[in-house]
Amino acid sequence: MILDTKISGVVDNRGDKMFEIFSLFAVFVAIFIFGMTVMRTGLYNLSGDKVRNWLIYFTNHPVKGLITGTIITAIIQSSSAVMVLVVGLIATGYLTFKPSIGIILGTNIGTTFTTELITLDIYGAIVPLLIIGFLCFFIKNREVFSIGALLFGLGCIFVAMNGFEQLARPLAIYPAIHSFFEATNDNNLLGIGLGTIITAIIQSSSATTGIIMGFMNEQLLTLNAGIAIVLGSNIGTCLTAFLASVGSTQEAKFAAFAHIWLNLIGVIAFFPLIQWLGEIAMVLTSMPDVQLAHVSLIFNVLTSLIALPFAGLLATFILKVHGERV
């Protein structure tokens, strides 16, 4: 009886500890997404209405669309936000479906700037970023406020990244979590599914990548598993644009379908090349998080450049497959 009570106490204590770790993990995910949103707001305010104008006036050719999509996504740090904007512009008649394909390809490249950014070693500057950014909020000047949002958001992102790394090891001590990591390391398809699900839930491929970087830095996930999860995140990020197109015009739905098909085909094409991508990344750097960021950049640049000459064919395919269903 006494032994049963002791065992029960240990199990309860361990369960409480696990709940605490998962709660902190959820908090850091929320901080990361909050930081992304605040930073995006600052960058968008600094660019003013130029973002919308660029999307409208510099997309009459797929190459221009790709460049425009890349630059705008790099500016506002969210491919999902750009896709929602594109769907909205198509729905209101400012854009048409075919030119949007170039923009979609560009957003996939532009979003990699975020993953490269979060690998920078500026943890010593986190507190100054937060303090300076916070103080800027009280200055009644649009530019200063926007810069403050940029700095404060960046500080929040690095707080979250540090949190992911700190919690990665405590999470792995639990048998179920440890077994899941091992299964993911052994099965790239599981990694694809995990990346898709996580990104669909938290609506940010950058946050998914940030979380995985934390686990990789603690050597809990292999590079190949991280790559598989990042590939899956490219599929998961399509959900935002698809939801934005629900109830919208036919052409807006075509753009959402194009986003899905482009990312899905890219993942299928590069799935057999995960080992090759990993080998290239290891030649470039020895740091796990930077390796993953570089793979994300290489994958998205290659898939976008390869798909660019076939933008017209893809548009025809979308119209044929989905034309009568939307």
pLDDT tens column, 246-283: 777 788 888 888 888 999 999 999 999 999 999 999 99
R_g (Cα) of the chain, nearest Å: 21
- Summarize the chain as % helix, strand, coil (round to 5): 85, 0, 15
- CB neighbour list of residue 293: distance below 8 Å, 6 or more residues apart: 112, 115, 116, 118, 119, 209, 213
Cα–Cα distance, 239 to 192 (Å, whole number): 15
Helix (H, G, I), strand (E, B) or coil at 214: helix
Distance of CA 44 to the CA centre of its chain: 18
| Greatest pairwise CA separation for the chain in angstroms | 78
Count the residues in the chain: 326
Name the pTM for this structure. Answer: 0.79
CA distance 110 to 79: 7
Residue 231 pLDDT more than 90?
yes
Closest to 233 measured CA to CA, from 201, 265, 272: 201
pLDDT of residue 267: 93
**Among 106, 112, 108, residue whose Cα is nearest residue 58:** 106
pLDDT tens digits, one per residue of 137-196: 888 888 888 888 888 887 887 788 777 767 766 766 777 777 878 888 889 999 999 889
Alpha-carbon dihedral 280, 283, 288, 291, rounded to 10 degrees: -40
Report whether 48 contacts 86 (CB < 8 A).
no
Q: Which two tokens stand for residue 30?
A: 């929320």
Confidence check: pLDDT of 15 > 70: no
132 has pLDDT over 80: yes
